């Protein structure tokens, strides 16, 4: 008798679990559709000056294609509004929501970066570095990590923090990603701890926005990590 009861309870619980899973998956799929097709996936692009923030946004806007002839000017105080746009990064189009293009100078950090972070409350942050001016770029990276710690309300949707070491076409012949990252050992430790504490993914990629090498893969991983329902994981 008790084994029949056990079986019955198992069947009922199993059915409830299965129905629950189906409902959860359905809700996740609807949520994913809403963000990816209607609302837009919210992210921000930060990094010290001349690391390629404006160029990355333009590259995404050009559907991850060639941006030959694009000559950005230094982004002025206050930054520039960037409308939502769709880009194909993988099996379909994603609606992307970068909010604003901001400059990378010291003077922008306390003003434009913090304001952008507060306004966007992003799902993801792409942080650009390159092979130059290590001290400035370490300062910028530490500033962003401190900003995440100081602004928990703005960081509450954060699902991924990806560092893109840009301009590999310029440094690839002389050095390696590992050698560049040697300069950022403490920052990587700090980011690892922060990511574990706040529950977001972090990763480092190399690439070149000018040649496109490596960037498409990095961006595909990044946007997959911040959309509600991961495609690459499934």
Using CB under 8 A, list all residues that contact other proteins.
49-50, 54, 71-74, 76-78, 80-81, 83, 103-108, 111-112, 115, 136
Rounded to a whole number of angstroms, the minimum distance from the CB of residue 65 to other proteins is 19
C-beta of residue 102 within 8 angstroms of C-beta of residue 108: yes
At closest approach, how far in Å is the CB of 80 from other proteins?
6
Q: CA–CA distance from 6 to each of 11, 18, 20, 90 (Å)? A: 9, 18, 20, 47
Residues in the chain, overall count? 234
The span from the CA of 37 to the CA of 15, in Å, is: 32
Query: What 3-state class would DSSP assign to 60?
Result: helix
Question: CB of 117: closest distance to other proteins in angstroms?
Answer: 15
SS (H, E, C) 133-201: CHHHHHHHHHHHHHHHHHCCCCCCCCCEEEEEECCHHHHCCCCCHHHHHHCCHHHHHHHHHHHHHHCCE
Nearer to other proteins, 95 or 231 (CB): 95
Pick between residue 33 and residue 106 the one whose CB is nearest to other proteins: 106
Q: How far is the CB of 89 from other proteins (least distance, A)?
A: 23
Give whichever of 26 and 74 is closer to other proteins, judged by the CB atom: 74
Q: How far is the CB of 105 from other proteins (least distance, A)?
A: 3
Nearest residue (CB) to other proteins, 102 versus 195: 102
Complex with other proteins: residue 57 or 158, whichever CB lies closer: 57
């Amino acid at each position: 008798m008790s084994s029949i009861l056990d079986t019955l309870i198992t069947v009922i619980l199993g059915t409830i679990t299965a129905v629950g899973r189906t409902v959860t998956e359905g809700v996740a799929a609807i949520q994913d559709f809403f963000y990816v097709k209607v609302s837009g996936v919210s992210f921000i692009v930060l990094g010290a000056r001349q690391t390629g923030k404006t160029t990355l946004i333009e590259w995404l806007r050009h559907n991850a294609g060639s941006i030959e002839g694009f000559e950005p000017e230094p982004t002025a105080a206050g930054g520039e509004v960037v409308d939502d746009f769709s880009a194909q990064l993988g099996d379909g189009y994603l609606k992307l929501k970068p909010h604003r293009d901001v400059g990378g100078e010291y003077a922008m950090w306390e003003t434009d970066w913090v304001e952008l972070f507060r306004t966007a409350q992003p799902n993801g942050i792409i942080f650009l570095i390159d092979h130059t001016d290590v001290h400035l770029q370490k300062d910028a990276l530490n500033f962003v990590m401190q900003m995440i710690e100081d602004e928990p309300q703005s960081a509450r949707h954060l699902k991924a923090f990806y560092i893109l070491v840009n301009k590999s076409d310029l440094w690839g012949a002389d050095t390696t990603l590992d050698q560049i990252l040697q300069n950022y050992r403490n920052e990587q430790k700090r980011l690892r701890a922060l990511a574990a504490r706040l529950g977001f993914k972090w990763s480092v990629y190399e690439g070149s926005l000018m040649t496109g090498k490596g960037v498409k893969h990095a961006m595909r991983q990044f946007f997959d990590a911040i959309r509600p329902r991961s495609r690459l994981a499934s």
